[in-house]
Amino acid sequence: MDCIALEKSVTAANYDPLPVVLREAKGVWARDIDGKRYLDMMSAYSAVSLGHGHPRILKAMAEQASTLAVTSRAYHTELLGPFLDRLVHITGLDVALPMNTGAEAVETAIKGARRWGYHSKKIPQDRAEIIVAENNFHGRTTTIVGFSSEDDYREGFGPFAGGFRHVPFGDAQAVADAITGNTCAILIEPIQGEAGIIVPPEGYLRQLRALCDKHNVLLILDEVQSGLGRTGRWFAHQHENIKPDGLILGKALGGGVYPVSALVGTRDLMRVFNPGSHGSTFGGNALAARIGLEALAVIEEEHLVERSAEMGAYLLARLRDMRSNIVKDVRGRGLWVGVEVDPNVASARSICDALLAEGVLSKDTHGTVLRFAPPLTITRDEIDWGMDRIEQVFARSVH
C-alpha cells in the first residue's frame, strides 16, 4: 500500500509532511515502515518532550483508561484537584482552567482577559483591546488567526474579530506606546516559536511586567511550546525572574500521548469565570488529569528541566561551531534552537529533506529556519549522532 498516496487522496491538504511514513517510536528514536531509524529532533513541537512512549506515562494512561477515562465536568473526580493543585504550585499562580489543545487555552485566556477588563478595570463594553506581537503564533482558530500578521494564515477566513493591536516583538517601547485606557492584556510568546525561535532582547519581559503593573494591564504568556522545561527552566519567563498574570500551557502537559492544556492564572484573573461562562467536553477529564499529573512528576523527578539546560547548551555550542555558508544565524535557549538558512544557498525545506535521508527528523518554518527541539531525554551521544549528520548535510549544501 502506498501510504502517502492514500493519505493525500483522502486528507485535506492543510499540511505538507516530509516524505516519510513512521510506524513506531521509543524515546528519541522513530522507525518508518521499512525499519529505517530516525533521530527525532522535533518531538512534535514539544508535545513529546518526555520522549516517545515514556513507560510511566503509558502505565498511568493504561491504568486510568481501564477504570475511569472520560467524564464531563458535570461531575467531580478524585484526579482533577491533585493535577491542578500541582500545576498551580509549579507555576506559582493560583487557579487553573483545564482544556485540551493549546489553541483552546489561548481562546480561554482571551475570554478571561476581556471579561477581567470589563469587570475589574471597568473598560466600556466591547472596547477591550489586547496587545499582541507581530509574527506571533498562538494557534489556528478564527479568532487567533485574525490577529496573526501572516497573510497565509488569514487568507479566506475572515471577517475577523477586532480588539487586537500589533507591536514589533522585542520592542518594549512600542508596547508602551500602544497601551490605552482600553488595554486589558498583553498576550505574547516569551520566545517566538513558529516565527523561527526568536529570542527577545534581555530585559524585555521585565519591561513588559513593569508596564503591566504601571497601567493595570494583564501580562499573559503563551508557553505552550516554551514551557515545561523546553528552554532549560520550567518556564521561559523564569529566565527573567518575572511572574505573569496568566500562563498558557499545553503540548508536553499531555506526556506525548494525549491533548492536555490549561490556562493558569492569578485569582484576580480567574475569578471572572463562573458556571456556564466557559467549558469543554473533554477538558479536565479523568484520563487527562492522570496523564498531566504524571507528566509533571516525570519532568520533576527525572530532572528534565536541568537536563534541557545542560544538553541545550551543548546542542547550541555544536551548531555554532559548524562552519558553513548555509548558516546565517543560530539562536535558541535550552533544547529549542533555530538555524536560519541563507536562502541564496538553499531552502530550509530542502535541508530538512536532506536531513531526513540521513536519519534526522526536523521541520522548517517560513522556508528559512530549521527547528531543532528534541525530547528532553536526549543524551550527549545522541546529540553527537545527530550533529554529525547535520554537519555533513550542511557541508554538502555549500556551493
Separation of first and last alpha carbons in the chain: 38
State residue 217's pLDDT score: 98
State residue 399's pLDDT score: 46
Phi, psi of 317 (to 5 degrees): -65, -45
Residue 16 appears among annotated catalytic residues: no
Residue 222 appears among annotated catalytic residues: yes
Among 125, 97, 123, 103, which Cα is nearest to 270's?
Answer: 97
Residue 151 appears among annotated catalytic residues: no
Domain-terminating residue out of 247, 281, 301: 301
| Same-domain check for residues 322 and 206 | no
| Same-domain check for residues 159 and 272 | yes
Retrieve residue 347's grid coordinates.
531552502
State residue 398's pLDDT score: 53
| Same-domain check for residues 323 and 335 | yes
State residue 396's pLDDT score: 81
Number of domains in the chain: 2
Using CA atoms, how far apart are residues 210 and 204, in angstroms rounded to an integer? Answer: 10
Model confidence pLDDT, tens digit, residues 7-56: 999 999 999 999 999 999 999 999 999 999 999 999 999 999 999 999 99
Using CA atoms, how far apart are residues 10 and 85, in angstroms rounded to an integer? Answer: 43
| Same-domain check for residues 239 and 382 | no
Give the CATH number, domain containing residue 11: 3.90.1150.10
| Same-domain check for residues 39 and 70 | no
Domain that residue 192 falls in: 55-301
| Same-domain check for residues 131 and 247 | yes
Using CA atoms, how far apart are residues 2 and 10, in angstroms rounded to an integer? Answer: 13
**Looking at the chain, which runs of residues are DSSP E strands?**
22-26, 29-32, 37-40, 95-99, 129-133, 164-167, 183-188, 218-222, 246-249, 261-265, 327-332, 337-341, 360-361, 363-365, 369-372
| Same-domain check for residues 11 and 74 | no
Q: Which stretches of the chain drop beneath a pLDDT of 50?
A: 399
Give pTM, 2 decimals. Answer: 0.97
State residue 71's pLDDT score: 86
| Same-domain check for residues 174 and 122 | yes
* Catalytic residue, candidates 40, 83, 169, 222: 222
| Same-domain check for residues 182 and 45 | no
| Same-domain check for residues 189 and 258 | yes
State residue 323's pLDDT score: 84
Cell 483591546 belongs to 129
| Same-domain check for residues 155 and 286 | yes
Model confidence pLDDT, tens digit, residues 114-142: 999 999 999 999 999 999 999 999 999 99
Using CA atoms, how far apart are residues 67 and 225, in angstroms rounded to an integer? Answer: 31
Give the CATH number, domain containing residue 63: 3.40.640.10
State residue 275's pLDDT score: 95
* Catalytic residue, candidates 83, 147, 235, 251: 251
